[in-house]
Chain A
Amino acid sequence: MKLQRMNRRALALGALAVSGALALTACGSDDTGTSSGGSSAAAKPGSIKCDDAKGQLLADGSSAQKNAIDAWVKQFTAACQGTQINYKGGGSGAGVTAFTQGQVAFAGSDSALKPDEVTASKKVCSGGQGINLPMVGGPIAVGYNVNGVDNLVLDAATLAKIFNNEITNWNDPQIKKLNPDAKLPDLKIQAFHRSDDSGTTDNFTKYLIDTAKKDWPYDGGKTWQAKGGQSASGSSGVAQQVKQTNGAIGYFELSYAKDGLKTVDLDTGAAQPVKATVDNATKAISEAKVVGTGKDLALQLNYGTKAEGAYPMVLVTYEIVCDKGNKAETLPATKAFLRYIASEEGQKILAEADYAPIPADIISQVRTTVDGLS
């Protein structure tokens, strides 16, 4: 067994292969490559209040808001020298776990804390508990790839039936009824969902449960529950499969819908079908109600909205911190950073990165809460 027996030439070839592999894997990540970082560099450093923020701030959580956090961190650390913010986009579950174990100053999550998670957070927040602060909104786009179809309108019931394998062909009468002018081919529908647990799945199915309960008889959650269909890992994986496969349809965050991927317009019951855009998503989020108690600002979205130009298939991601009992050494930096991202300036960066800002009346509550953190 001489697997290691390589001479100089083989080593050189191996080095080539490895460096090639590195170059390849660098392209294969979930990077959405938005222009957020560069274009927003014009922010005035003076407008960010650092107070006595310094040291390293650890955070972990939702990968959906990773691009937004990256853009914010770039601005913030440029203004506040001596502060380092390390946000690991390990997923909402990992973020909440890290938070309840006291490993991070704040966590990002696509869904608000569950009651048992709030209980767990009381151990970390001495005298307080974990609260949800909505910071980033975003539309979930449904991308499709059908040759010859450029404008596709679907409603919640049809979407539910497609993803539940009840509608299996593109020339189904129900799709035709919503798209009288489209030339729908006789083609098998290949519905793609996420293979990994995901906040996007959670919010997508929450929308279906709220608006098409009859056709979507599942409990919801981060795990995909319907049987059948095809799956891929990560939003980028789903987007790539949809792009590759004729007859495919799949859901992902809007920022992944690029390079000619077409997205479904939602028939919400409004006069006009609604396109998946940042503005339309903000309109829908503005109908959200705060359902958190005390300082908690967990939102309940109005998925059934029929308002003109409101795109209701949205997700809101939260930053989770302690209302009281944050660690003394990280509190100033946490407060300063959260104050910045909730500020007008911080929220403005979002739209450039295909995220939706949080509506004014909710974000003003967030600002008040951030100021009261202790």
Chain B
Amino acid sequence: MDTSTQITDAPPPAPQPATDKRAARGATRPGDRIFLGLSRGSGILLLVIMAAIAVFLTYRATLAISKDQGNFLTTFEWDTNLVPPNFGIAVLAFGTVISSIIAMVIAVPIAVAIALFLTHYAPRRLRGPIAYVIDLLAAVPSIVYGLWGALVLVPNMTGLFGWLNDYLGWTGIFSWQGGAPRSMLTVGILLAIMILPIITNVSREVFRQVPQMHEEAALALGATRWEVIRMAVLPFGRSGVISASMLGLGRALGETMAVATVLSPSFLIETSLLDPGGGTFAQNIASKFGEATEFGRDALIASGLVLFVITLLVNGAARAIIARRKEYSGANA
């Protein structure tokens, strides 16, 4: 009784916050205005930097492409010293995409599994150390991965390659003619290891944000732990995991030194993932830049422009997927 009379007697609290809000919206205080200016300026600066990169790449690229006697998109060759020069990105685009796809196919399931294990299964005592180790993996420079790949991974791949050739050789993509295992598959495996930490870390943070209430509600309905993950955790984290994968994919697309060290580059598209050969944009730029002439550098910059465009497309696609799934994701729940 007492409480109810107190409530009715109390002055309506609504108007007070309303005026506060209006005051905030008007941005009358100087601090607000400065902050608004700073953040707007930073946003514009970012756009200007991106535009400047695009303009630079396009300008240098047109210088090179206008003199290319081959078709820039379909030529299987990179000879900028010839007169007239003959170069094209077909092999590079193919290799970049294929190696990144292999890396994603291997890394994403493993990364999600590690993230789920860390957030939902692992004993508390294990979580810290495993997380540190994964953080450390992200901090290892890529040339070290390259050295490790060339000296340890490549010599030890022969067993796997032989096995794949014996059982899956008939598919054509897993046939092996006994060359050194410095192929697209080896590169994909190495890239998978390199992008694992970033996907794992972001996914772990996303899974940690799942509202406790969702999981408890599912448990109360009689769900097992796996069903909780399937019905509450994964739908909530889906867009986060996609974003994480895109970060990883970005690294895989642009990885340079590790690929250059492990791959046996050539301007041929091998139908088999196990035969040495192929190439990626970043690897090709790194290996050709040193001896390149002014014109050769323009040509390499043209190939860099294509990588830039591919990265933009991939990011756009990821954003579209996330936007489409927004209503289902837990972020709005």
Interface residue A67 (Cβ < 8 Å from any Cβ of B): no
A190 touches B141 (CB 8 A): no
A190 touches B180 (CB 8 A): yes
Partner of A196, one of B179, B277, B288: B288
Interface residue B261 (Cβ < 8 Å from any Cβ of A): yes
Interface size on A, residues (CB 8 A): 46
Contact with A along B105-144 (1 / 0, CB 8 A): 0000000000000000000000000001001101111011
A3 touches B78 (CB 8 A): no
**A241 to chain B: which residues have CB within 8 Å?**
180, 264
B155 touches A244 (CB 8 A): yes
**Given A10-B135, A244-B155, are A233 and B261 also a contact pair (CB < 8 Å)?**
yes
Docked Cα-Cα span, A94 to B205, in Å, equals 46
**Given A3-B135, A28-B147, are A230 and B180 also a contact pair (CB < 8 Å)?**
yes
In B62-85, the 8 Å CB interface with A consists of 78-82
B180 touches A97 (CB 8 A): no
**Given A91-B290, A230-B266, are A223 and B139 also a contact pair (CB < 8 Å)?**
no
**B205 to chain A: which residues have CB within 8 Å?**
1-2
**A3 to chain B: which residues have CB within 8 Å?**
135, 138, 198, 201
**A188 to chain B: which residues have CB within 8 Å?**
177-179
**Given A190-B179, A223-B80, A223-B81, are A195 and B136 also a contact pair (CB < 8 Å)?**
no
Contact with B along A234-249 (1 / 0, CB 8 A): 0000000100110010
Docked Cα-Cα span, A1 to B131, in Å, equals 12
Partner of A93, one of B140, B179, B266, B290: B290
Contact with A along B157-181 (1 / 0, CB 8 A): 0000000000000000000011110
Q: Which A residue's beta carbon lies closest to that of B180?
A: A245
**B290 to chain A: which residues have CB within 8 Å?**
63, 90-91, 93-94, 196-197
**B82 to chain A: which residues have CB within 8 Å?**
219, 221, 223
**A199 to chain B: which residues have CB within 8 Å?**
291
Interface residue A229 (Cβ < 8 Å from any Cβ of B): yes
Docked Cα-Cα span, A37 to B287, in Å, equals 29
A24 touches B144 (CB 8 A): yes
**B202 to chain A: which residues have CB within 8 Å?**
1
In A243-289, the 8 Å CB interface with B consists of 244-245, 248
Contact with B along A99-133 (1 / 0, CB 8 A): 00000000000000000000000000000000000
Docked Cα-Cα span, A28 to B293, in Å, equals 26
**Given A21-B140, A228-B266, A229-B266, are A94 and B291 also a contact pair (CB < 8 Å)?**
yes
A93 touches B180 (CB 8 A): no
Q: Which A residue's beta carbon lies closest to that of B261?
A: A233
**Shortest Cβ gap from A229 to chain B (Å):** 7
Partner of B268, one of A9, A196, A228: A228
**A42 to chain B: which residues have CB within 8 Å?**
none
Interface residue B292 (Cβ < 8 Å from any Cβ of A): yes
**Given A1-B202, A229-B266, are A197 and B288 also a contact pair (CB < 8 Å)?**
yes
**Shortest Cβ gap from B149 to chain A (Å):** 12
Contact with B along A25-57 (1 / 0, CB 8 A): 100100000000000000000000000000000
19 residue pairs of the A-B complex, CB under 8 angstroms, read A6-B132, A13-B132, A17-B140, A24-B147, A63-B290, A91-B292, A93-B296, A96-B293, A195-B265, A195-B266, A196-B287, A197-B296, A221-B81, A222-B81, A230-B264, A232-B264, A244-B155, A244-B180, A248-B180
Additional A-B contact list (19), CB under 8 Å, known A97-B293, A190-B180, A223-B82: A1-B201, A1-B205, A2-B201, A3-B201, A17-B140, A25-B147, A28-B147, A91-B291, A91-B292, A93-B291, A93-B293, A188-B178, A223-B78, A223-B81, A225-B79, A229-B266, A230-B264, A231-B265, A248-B180
- Interface residues of chain A, those whose CB is within 8 Å of chain B, are 1-3, 5-6, 9-10, 13-14, 17-18, 21, 24-25, 28, 63, 90-94, 96-97, 188, 190, 195-199, 219, 221-223, 225, 227-233, 241, 244-245, 248
List the 3 shortest-distance A-B pairs measured between CB atoms, nearest first: A91-B290, A197-B291, A91-B291
